[in-house]
Chains A and B, each alone.
Chain A
Amino acid sequence: MPADTSIDRVMRTEAAPRKRRWWRRKSDIGALDYARRWWMKLFVGAMFAMLYAPIITLMLFSFNDSRRNIVWKGFTFKYYIKAWNNDGLIEAFANSLTIAVISTVLSTIIGAMVALTLWRFRFPGKPAYEGFMALPIVVPEICMGVAMLVFFARIGWPSGMPWPLNLSSITIAHVAFSFPFVAVVVRARMTGFNRELEEAAKDLGASEWQTFRDVILPFMKPGVVAGALLAFTLSLDDFVITFFTSGPDTVTFPVKVYSMVRFSVTPEVNAASTVLVVITVIATFFAMKFQAPVKGSAD
């Protein structure tokens, strides 16, 4: 009789009734089906709880009918109304939105142009340029903030101008750190572009401009929209760089919330923060939606 091969052994163990441990009972879970294992579910659940519990608590407590805002005292919209009537807060909010809109428009245009340049052309020093362009993404914000402060002080950028010119320094700072994000997103989008589309347009008689308008731009659009929304949320949220570039009369929303918290954490702060979270989430949602690859676009 031949020696006991491993196949024989496997066959025999398979045939024998196996004593199953309780944690191994679900035998239909594949070897790589981690998502279906109970410990993975637990771990993922815990992760999400850790990440989002504070934010959800913040949102819930914005409806808390209590000044100290430590224990739940009942439901109210009072603090939303109070926040709405807080002129300082509203002014900060208006400042933030103005800065966000202007810096988004500027950084989207600059970022898209940078992305196009990097995608379309070969020129000496391109890798170096690409690296330097992306620096604001990696440079710590605090350094950027200090650098901006020193820069504006050094060149004597005028302050105390009438609104909205007094926001110019913050806006410039925001453009400086958000256009690389736009460039990166648009560039990533363009790598999926089939060069033959451009050639086909030219072959069919389109001029350089017609090709750009009719073929390249429509393909680029989702990337540009996603980049713009990214720039918008970055600008709206930014605290560190804004803090260094803002003056007493140019308080933005995050800076204002920070100063309010220094006195006391009232549900008013929660309400204001909730509004900001909601705006950010909506913008991010659309950014993701536009960034999703268009089916069949590679052809």
Chain B
Amino acid sequence: MTDAIISIRNITKRFGQVVAVDNISFDIPTNEFFALLGPSGCGKTTLLRMISGLENPTEGAIILDGVDTTGIPPNRRPVNMVFQSYAVFPHMNVLENVGYGLKVVGTPKSEIETRARDALQKVQLPELAERMPDQLSGGQRQRVALARALVKEPKVLLLDEPLSALDAKLREQMRLELANLQASVGITFIIVTHDQDEALSMADRIAVMDSGRVSQIATPEELYESPKTRFVADFIGKVNLLDGTVGSAGGKQITINVDGVGQLKVPLEGDAPSGEVAVAIRPEKLKLSSRKPAGDDVKIQGKVVNLAYYGNASHVFLETDSGLPMTANVQNDTRDFEGAIDVGDKTWISWRPDDALVLTE
């Protein structure tokens, strides 16, 4: 890609015997909101720290705006980071914190003040410039950390789990604000998170990482609706995975033999797989009904084992007659849902064949 602001080339990082990042390559174009998503220990933070220069890759190179960053220390890279703990300097007030990055490179005093106040304006904290960090709430400290990084006008802004320390309500609000901020400042954002909702709601593209490798890079919608691997399907949202073997493939459909369920027809994209595969169906795509549904839908009989009520929706834990566990996500769009389904109820589980997906990996 020619307009890539950052290009990760065959990056490997080993800590002794442990391989934290295993031969990763990808490009991030200018002005993208990019998320590195994965469970803890998957290497996403290590990758971010290598971009910032706080860690050096064992192998490979990171090209930043056409410049190979190998050997360039963090203080001379045009990237800035918002740390997980925010790392707001406790002995400096908000304005000094924000201006610090300008002060150390010898920016004139008057310019520091203007630019720092400007950055505080961007994160909506202009009135707290004289406060000390211990007088700020967690959300405010995070804004200070953001302003402090933005004031440097970096080519790439790195965010390490920026929302993990905030409470649920604030987290939701900050997601929107971060996305808006990214759009308004026009800087490439790379965010590290283990929270799929965070990545799905903010990012333009997401790289899902697993044990040091990238499983899939795609837009949020693509990741959710067309995951490439079991890991991605399972990590992004909830999914029912049914193990089976490939039966016959013909035209745009493929038949999978699933133990205890029988033959499932699944639409086929690309080459026909063979051997052991998994059929993935999202819980919200399952329909539950007491009477046998009509039509071409795939239908299985089962019973309700457990219910988890979430207010707007409920998770219904099911067991098919053959003993396979499945989960359905039911919208509570009427007020009497709880009466409608109960633990122990016999039910028909059905889904449209198009909603299922074959996973080979």
A residues sitting closer than 8 Å to B (CB atoms) are: 194, 196-197, 199-207, 210, 214-215, 218-219, 294-297, 299
Contact = CB atoms under 8 A, between A and B. Distances in A.
Interface of B: 52-54, 73-76, 79-81, 83-91, 100-101, 104-105, 132-134, 141, 145, 148-149, 152
B75 A294 contact: no
A221 to B, nearest CB: 9
B152 A200 contact: no
Contact of B54 (A199, A214, A295): A199
B104 A210 contact: yes
A205 B339 CA distance: 62
Given A204-B152, A206-B104, A299 B75 contact: no
30 contacts: A194-B87, A196-B83, A196-B84, A196-B87, A199-B87, A200-B87, A200-B145, A201-B89, A201-B104, A202-B75, A203-B53, A203-B75, A203-B79, A204-B75, A204-B148, A204-B152, A205-B76, A205-B101, A206-B75, A206-B100, A207-B75, A214-B104, A215-B89, A219-B90, A294-B90, A295-B134, A296-B134, A297-B90, A297-B134, A299-B86
Contacts of B53: 203
B101 A196 contact: no
Contacts of A297: 90, 134
A220 B90 CA distance: 12
Contacts of A215: 89
B54 A203 contact: yes
A205 B80 CA distance: 9
Contacts of A296: 90, 132-134
Contact of A203 (B81, B88, B132): B81
A200 B83 contact: yes
Contacts of B105: 205
A110 B79 CA distance: 37
A196 B134 contact: no
Nearest to A295: B134
Contacts of B88: 299
B83 A199 contact: yes
Ranked nearest first, the 3 interchain pairs of A and B with the lowest CB-CB distance are: A296-B134, A204-B101, A200-B87
Contacts of B133: 296, 299
Contacts of B87: 194, 196-197, 199-200, 299
Contacts of B74: 199, 202-203
